[in-house]
Amino acid sequence: MTVLVLGTGNPGKLREMQQYFEADSPWTLELKPPEIDVDETGTTFLANACLKASETAIATGKWSIADDSGLAVDALDGAPGIFSARYGVDDADRIARLLRELSGKETRSAQFVCAIAVASPDGKVVIQEVGICPGEILHDVQGDGGFGYDPVFFVPEAGMTYAQMPDEVKRRLSHRGRAFEKVMPQLGAISDRL
């Protein structure tokens, strides 16, 4: 098994990412050590994912994977974007701000974006992929699953919000699922060469 250090200290993110790795995967995921702190100074999701993967790989001397994701709303010129997690003090506050800022706007199209980067132990980024799930922002919360903006993000393809989706549907249709669909074959090719 080859260790793939996750460029985050969040155990919830670790559990979420493990869902994309098969039981017989040659990779084993582990959280980065808490003393490694990477400043997300990039101006795009992909830049931040690359920063986290590269700096974590260099600090640990191991393969590293990192993601950066968020919500981009067309009528708000892509906001909250890379600031999605900092758009309010908690999920309810972030949703309230989003709905307030969209008040009176006809266009409610949006997309969830997930950028994933993988770096080799020397810090070189060898995989960069982006997954996008198009949708729209509802006027009211629907569903009680998920987290963040999930209750107001409606996916026409599924006919429901992220918060209403069964886990297996969300895994397949979500921005993270779409990004991992591109990343996993490349990780397989790397493990074949190790």
Tokens encoding 145: 């699953």
13-34 exposure pattern, b = at least 16 Cβ within 10 A, e = fewer: beeebeebbeeebebebebbee
- Which element (helix H / strand E) includes 64? strand 63-73
> Which amino acid is it at 135?
G
- From 59, 62, 53, select the one nearest 3 (Cα to Cα): 62
Q: Is 192 labeled as catalytic in the residue annotation?
A: no
Compute the distance between CA of residue 71 and CA of residue 120 in angstroms, rounded to an integer: 28
DSSP character string of 101-112: HHTT-S--EEEE
**Of 68, 74, 122, 150, catalytic:** 68
86-97 exposure pattern, b = at least 16 Cβ within 10 A, e = fewer: ebeeebeebbee
Which ranges in 78-194 belong to alpha helices (H)?
A: 91-102, 167-173, 175-193
Residues labelled catalytic: 68
